[in-house]
């Protein structure tokens, strides 16, 4: 029997505060996603800016955070190797977001008793 995946809207909504907390983005991550709240795209842009800053000023902290969220080091390395120069922050951000969303999908399935 194939397990159903949680709705992506729910996964995206739960990923925003998790990523904001992990990377101290300094935005109101707990605000609702409608109206004046932080959207998924706004969180992604804030994360990219934070990663750019860390690449320039604090690579050790960035590596530590990547380790803490359990990013796939080999896949990230391959993306960085094949990616365009200057897009490192975007590639790292997308890897972080993908990993966090994967963890949230698992948590949702567990809460719903489907794991």
Per-residue pLDDT of the chain (115 residues; tens, 9 = 90+): 455 455 888 898 888 888 998 888 865 544 444 433 578 899 999 999 999 999 999 999 999 999 999 998 899 889 888 888 889 999 999 999 999 999 999 999 898 888 7
Which pLDDT score, from 0 to 100, does residue 25 have? 83
- Token duo for residue 25: 């983005």
User: What is the 8-class DSSP label of residue 26?
Assistant: -
Closest CA to 66 of 19, 106, 107, 31: 19
Structure pTM?
0.81
Closest CA to 19 of 106, 103, 100, 98: 100
In terms of Cβ atoms closer than 10 Å to its own Cβ (0-12, 13-18, 19+), residue 96 is buried
Measured at the CA of 25, the angle between CA 95 and CA 100, to 5 degrees, comes to 30
């Amino acid at each position: 029997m194939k397990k159903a995946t949680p709705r992506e809207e729910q996964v995206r909504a739960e990923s925003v505060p998790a990523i904001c907390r992990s990377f101290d983005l300094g935005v109101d991550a707990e605000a609702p996603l409608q109206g004046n709240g932080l959207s998924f795209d706004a969180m992604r842009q804030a994360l990219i800016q934070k990663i750019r800053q860390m690449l320039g000023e604090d690579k050790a902290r960035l590596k530590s955070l990547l380790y803490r969220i359990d990013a796939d080091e080999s896949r990230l390395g391959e993306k960085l190797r094949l990616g365009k120069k200057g897009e490192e922050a975007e590639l790292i951000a997308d890897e972080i977001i993908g990993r966090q969303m994967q963890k949230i999908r698992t948590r949702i399935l567990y809460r719903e008793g489907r794991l």
